[in-house]
Structure 1
Amino acid sequence: MQLDEVELFALEHLFSASDAGVPVPALNADHYRVQERTITTAGFVSIIKYIQPSDPAPQIQEICKPFSHPRLRRGGVFICWVDSDLTLCLEGFAERKNWPSELLPLALQLFGND
């Protein structure tokens, strides 16, 4: 599966700056494939495979950044950790409120409305 715009937004938000001196590669959605998406009680989790091993992969173990959105009064948080096989685990969750459906990847929005 291709990266959804929510997943792409989250990865761009997480990798947009090297605040901690972490080298940040240019994010190209074609270099990633979503293996699984799941709704959680507070948001979502996506398992994403980095499929361009010849390019530099994100050189992090875990990165976490808060973000704001009009539907999240107290904001939300994106977390991403990278396994040794270049699998990214991306999680989005709300701070003390339910995660709004429009911030779910589209496939999960459709699934949640069934």
Structure 2
Amino acid sequence: MLSTTAVATAFDGTALLCLVMPVTSAWRTEAMKREYRGYRKAIDDELSDPNLDEKSRQLLLVELSKLDAQFHLLHDRRGTLQKVKFLGAGMRLASRYLRKASKYTNPFRLF
């Protein structure tokens, strides 16, 4: 069982990671693009196979949509970073609330 102070510290750490995500993700953008292109090319090559049955085609299309969802930072960077910023702000507010609330509660009380 975690104390409210430990949870508040975890929330602060998460908020900090959300804050630096635009910087850290910029370093990896080219590597992510290469990785995405590699996966995309493999799926496109399989989809272009003339002997592909309909069930396999549907499975590959599902994999393609999963791939696009997984690499959402490449497709919609601004939208993704806005959501991360919102999440970080929420974590920071929750951390502040927990720190204030922990001043008024006894951490050794079980019930």
Q: Which range, TM-score by smaller chain?
A: under 0.3
TM-score by length of 2: 0.22
TM-score (norm 1): 0.21
Structure with the larger helix share:
2
